Amino acid sequence: MRARARLEDVARAVRSAVSAMPHDCPQGLRVRVEKVLKVLEREEIHICVSGLFKAGKSTLINQLARWPILPSGSLPETGAPAVLRRRSPQQVRIQSRSGAMQEIEANAETLSRHTSLYTEDGRRRELNEMALQAEIDAPRLEIAPNVVLVDLPGLRDTREMDEVALDLASEADLILWVFRSEPAFSEQDSAFLAYLVEMCGAHVIQLVLNAMTSQKGANAWREFLRDVAPAHRQALRSAIGEIGLDERHVEKLCIVDATLVRKAFIGVTFGGRELFRLLRSVARRSDLTVKAARFVRVARTLDVCAAWALEAQTEIEAAYTEAASRYEVYRARMDRRDAIRAEIDAAVAQAFQGLDDEIARAGRDAASGVSENGYSVGVNVAGPLVNGATSAVETRRKGLIARLAAIGSDPEAVPLDAKMAGRIETAFLPEGSGAQSPRARFEAVIGTVSTRQPKLSWGRVASWLKGRDSEVEAAASATRGAVRSAASTASRAALACQPRVRALAKELLEPPSITVVAPPDERPRERLADFVSKVDHARARAVA
């Protein structure tokens, strides 16, 4: 019960880690974790017989099954894995690549047509021409009912075939790695074993040396054990360090003659006794022992996840820091742009501030100088007085251009050059005035006074109207009105320019186009942190 409870606890933690995997997690790592979870929850013990092609794997399994059901010959035969169980009645089923199961005749010839790499005439089959796998019920198989024996395609074949074999081998509780004495343990053996050790751990590897002797018999077997086997053990000792194995694997090396393991001559079993003892020991493993070995694999796989997550965290943090820096620069530029616009508004407002009052005051002062007794003097000075007030527009315009030029010196703004300053100056002209300045506009309005009073001569008004008080009063009154009207007209003409000046100033000093930068996304960091947390929790449960 304790083993079952712990299994469920670890499985639950691994499922939680799988569900938290970031979407950019390598697909191979995701598949590996899901596979570990599948192995963890499996009830049967899986023993995979693996090795390079033509190592004698199928021959060995036929001996264990007491039934020559698996094709074997001079060419590499196994093209699809075969799953064998000790079960009655004797039968063979094949699973097509579509998933459908079909029972076939229980003999090697029929099975060969569905799973062998080569046809009877020697043509190599394509992968899609073969079954996905074969399932064989063998009543006399020398394994316990809770053990499954899997015959894998030989490695060092095509890439596709190697991937099929390694994928299934990585799910095994025990891997019998079969290699021949001729040729001896090779670099290819080392490379594939190193991969399996990385994926599953060294504890699942059992080395099996298939003795290839020129003669068969007890004497040849003894000579092999005495004269040849020590050299193979020494070769293994030289290679195990790079593979990830240790001296225990050399000491536990199982030496067999795959063609004779079921025969016995005067106490010689050709390795059969040792092999059967090994298989029985696997079957006798307690549930807790099996699960503990699987927990080791879980921990190894989660270590790989943690290493990937650590590297991904470093990359994400760097990307986040860079994004945050870009966003900070963007926000600073946006804030400065808003500040520039506010400065432009303030500059234009200041340029026009009080202008209306100044012009109106000048008009009132000039009008008050037009009296009955000083008519001609008042009229003669009215124009210059008001003209002087309207020249304030020119002064303010120049002041505005200078201030905008200062704003334009900001590196975030467009510099105000002479051409732009000219456009600002032109914008001060009243709309529809035909390039007529407020001063010229005012002078034109003042000129209407003489037009409206054609009988009055400004230079000779005193002598001409002498003794005609009522007419003088009327003329003075009309003139005062005309002066005030002229001042009002000049004021309106100047103030009417303000919206256009403001719009033009903003247009001319609009900062360069700013590319929108989104704020850094917190979600990838949060997802990865959640994944790391769940991986750490699952690993802690697995090694507890």
Q: Is residue 529 part of a domain?
A: no
pLDDT band, very low/low/confident/very high, at 155 (cuts 50, 70, 90): confident
pLDDT(435) > 80: no
pLDDT band, very low/low/confident/very high, at 7 (cuts 50, 70, 90): confident
Listing from the earlier edge strand, what are the strands of the sheet with 205-210? 101-104, 91-95, 133-137, 82-85, 147-151, 45-50, 174-180, 205-210, 254-256
Same domain, 70 and 199: yes
Weakest-pLDDT range from 38-47, 259-268, 478-487: 478-487
Beta bridge partners of 510: none
Weakest-pLDDT range from 73-77, 468-472, 518-522, 526-530: 468-472
pLDDT(266) > 70: no
pLDDT tens digits for 352-377?
Answer: 777 777 766 666 666 665 554 444 44
pLDDT at 380: 53
pLDDT tens digits for 386-431?
Answer: 555 556 666 777 777 777 777 777 777 767 777 666 766 676 665 5
* DSSP state at residue 52: B
pLDDT at 177: 95
The three-class DSSP label of residue 254 is strand
CB 117 within 8 A of CB 156: no
Query: Which of the two residues, 151 and 406, has the higher pLDDT score?
Result: 151
CB 216 within 8 A of CB 259: yes
The three-class DSSP label of residue 55 is coil
Same domain, 486 and 366: yes
* Range picked from 102-106, 128-132, 395-399, 431-435 for highest mean pLDDT: 102-106
Q: Is residue 294 part of a domain?
A: no
Instruction: Look up residue 208 and give its two tokens.
Output: 């099996």
Instruction: Look up residue 502 and give its two tokens.
Output: 């403001």
pLDDT(93) > 90: yes
pLDDT(383) > 60: no
Same domain, 358 and 265: no
| Stated pTM of the model | 0.64
Same domain, 371 and 501: yes
Same domain, 59 and 153: yes
d(CA 14, CA 9): 9
pLDDT at 457: 38
Same domain, 272 and 365: no
Q: Is residue 544 part of a domain?
A: no
Q: Is residue 364 part of a domain?
A: yes
Query: Which of the two residues, 459 and 375, has the higher pLDDT score?
Result: 375
Identify the domain containing residue 455 by its residue range: 354-508
pLDDT(329) > 90: no
Same domain, 370 and 238: no
In angstroms, the Cα distances linking 392 to 124, 208, 362, 398, 428 are: 101, 107, 11, 10, 12
CB 33 within 8 A of CB 531: no
Helices (H) and strands (E) in the chain, counts: 19, 9
* Range picked from 53-62, 385-394, 417-426, 505-514 for highest mean pLDDT: 53-62
The CATH number that applies at residue 215 is 3.40.50.300
pLDDT at 103: 93
Query: Which of the two residues, 385 and 520, has the higher pLDDT score?
Result: 520
pLDDT(497) > 50: yes
pLDDT at 175: 93
Q: What is the mean pLDDT of residues 57-63?
A: 91
Q: What is the mean pLDDT of residues 330-340?
A: 85
Number of structural domains (the chain) is: 2
* Range picked from 234-243, 255-264, 479-488 for highest mean pLDDT: 234-243
Same domain, 273 and 393: no
Query: Which of the two residues, 512 and 161, has the higher pLDDT score?
Result: 161
First to last CA, the chain: 16
Same domain, 258 and 369: no
pLDDT at 229: 93
Q: What is the mean pLDDT of residues 62-77?
A: 81
pLDDT at 75: 61
Q: Is residue 249 part of a domain?
A: yes
pLDDT at 249: 92
Q: Is residue 169 part of a domain?
A: yes
pLDDT at 391: 61
* Range picked from 242-251, 411-420, 515-524 for highest mean pLDDT: 242-251
pLDDT at 375: 47
Same domain, 358 and 491: yes
Query: Which of the two residues, 175 and 289, has the higher pLDDT score?
Result: 175
Same domain, 364 and 485: yes
pLDDT at 285: 73
Q: Is residue 167 part of a domain?
A: yes
Residue after which a domain boundary falls, among 285, 308, 332: 285
Element (H, E) at 103: strand 101-104
Same domain, 382 and 474: yes
Q: Is residue 346 part of a domain?
A: no
Query: Which of the two residues, 478 and 329, has the higher pLDDT score?
Result: 329
Mean pLDDT of the chain: 79
